[in-house]
Amino acid sequence: MAKLRVGILISGRGSNMAALIDAARAPDYPAEVACVISNVATAAGLERARKAGVPTTVTPHKAFPDRESFDRAVAAELEKHDVDLVALAGFMRIQSPWFAERWKDRMLNIHPSLLPAFPGLRVQQQAIDAGVRISGCTVHFVTPDLDAGPIVAQAAVPVLPDDTAETLAQRILRQEHRLYPQVVRWYAEGRISLRHGRVTVENTPTLLFSSDP
Ligand code: GRF
């Protein structure tokens, strides 16, 4: 059966992108990474993608007069690579309503908190400042509202008393690298249903717990 073609959008390090590329190396993984697009020419993830033999493109947002014209250029690139599913992975641009509609129900994002708690930026520091004892990461469908689309799955980690934003980020990141490839697998297997803004995944627990605090 043809594999699902995933286009990954990045702006930086690209460790989630690398986790998806690595997962897709397994012959029985039902998705392949069709392309990686970055809005930042110096994103470290680009080099990792190139080394893995994945086609990469830089589409600098600054070269476009407005958000939608940038988004249209990104969409054209995704179409060129016959992408079925868009995976945002540390992509630091907010999507225009046009782009969100274009990829409605076919675009995922990973966010390093248990949404709807702590959307936006500096989320690990937000979690520490709030004194929560548990945090984690969320994979969700992307809608025009930032970090607010239907939740597909979450992974939970403890927040320890001496955590800094960095130590917490590392703990969460390890779970991100497990969770994102799993969700993309479920999507490729057609096991994710989205009804009235709520997601169910056939026969699968969609909450993971970290075993490595
Ligand atoms: C991750 O923590 C992800 O959840 C957030 O941005 C970070 C990207 O890291 N959206 P990387 O580029 O995947 O290493």
Q: What is the pLDDT of residues 45-60, one digit of tens each?
A: 999 999 999 999 999 9
Assign 213 a pLDDT band (cuts: 50, 70, 90).
low
Alpha-carbon span 34 to 78, nearest angstrom: 9
Question: Is 157:172 a contact under the CB 8 Å cutoff?
Answer: yes
Look at 118 and 209; give whichever has higher pLDDT: 118
> Mean per-residue pLDDT for 131-154?
97
**With bands split at pLDDT 50, 70 and 90, how would you rate the model's confidence at 203?**
confident
CA distance 125 to 132: 11
Question: What mean pLDDT comes out for the span 17-32?
Answer: 98
Q: Where are the domains of the chain?
A: 1-103, 110-213
Q: What is the 3-state secondary structure (H, E, C) of 81-115?
A: CCCCEEEECCCCCCCCHHHHHHCCCCEEEEECCCC
Buried b / exposed e along 185-211 (16+ C-beta atoms within 10 A): bbbbeeebeeeeeebebeeeebebebe
136 lines ligand 1 (CB under 6 A): no
Q: What is the average per-residue pLDDT within 31-49?
A: 98
pTM: 0.97
| Nearest-CA residue for atom 14 of ligand 1 | 15
User: Ligand 1 in contact with 13 (CB < 6 A)?
Assistant: yes
Strand-pair partners of 56: 36
Please report the atom of ligand 1 found closest to the CA of residue 172. Answer: 2
What's the CATH superfamily of 1-103? Formyl transferase, N-terminal domain (3.40.50.170)
pLDDT digits (tens, 9 = 90+) for 69-112: 999 999 999 999 999 999 999 999 999 999 999 999 999 999 99
Question: Which residue in 9, 119, 100, 103 sits closest to 54, CA to CA?
Answer: 9
What is the pLDDT at residue 165? 98
Q: Do domains 1-103 and 110-213 have the same CATH topology?
A: yes
Q: Which residues are marked as active site?
A: 111
The closest alpha carbon to 149, from 185, 186, 99, belongs to: 99
Q: Residue whose CA is closest, atom 8 of ligand 1? A: 90
Taking the CA of residue 89 as reference, the ligand 1 atom at the shortest distance is 13
User: Is domain 110-213 in CATH 3.40.50.170, yes or no?
Assistant: yes
CA of 90 to the centre of ligand 1 (A): 4
Q: Please indicate whether residue 119, judged by its CB atom, sits closer than 6 Å to ligand 1.
A: no
Residue 66: which of 88, 21, 96 has the closest Cα? 96
DSSP H helical ranges for 26-164 = 44-51, 67-80, 97-102, 123-130
Q: What is the mean pLDDT of residues 31-40?
A: 98
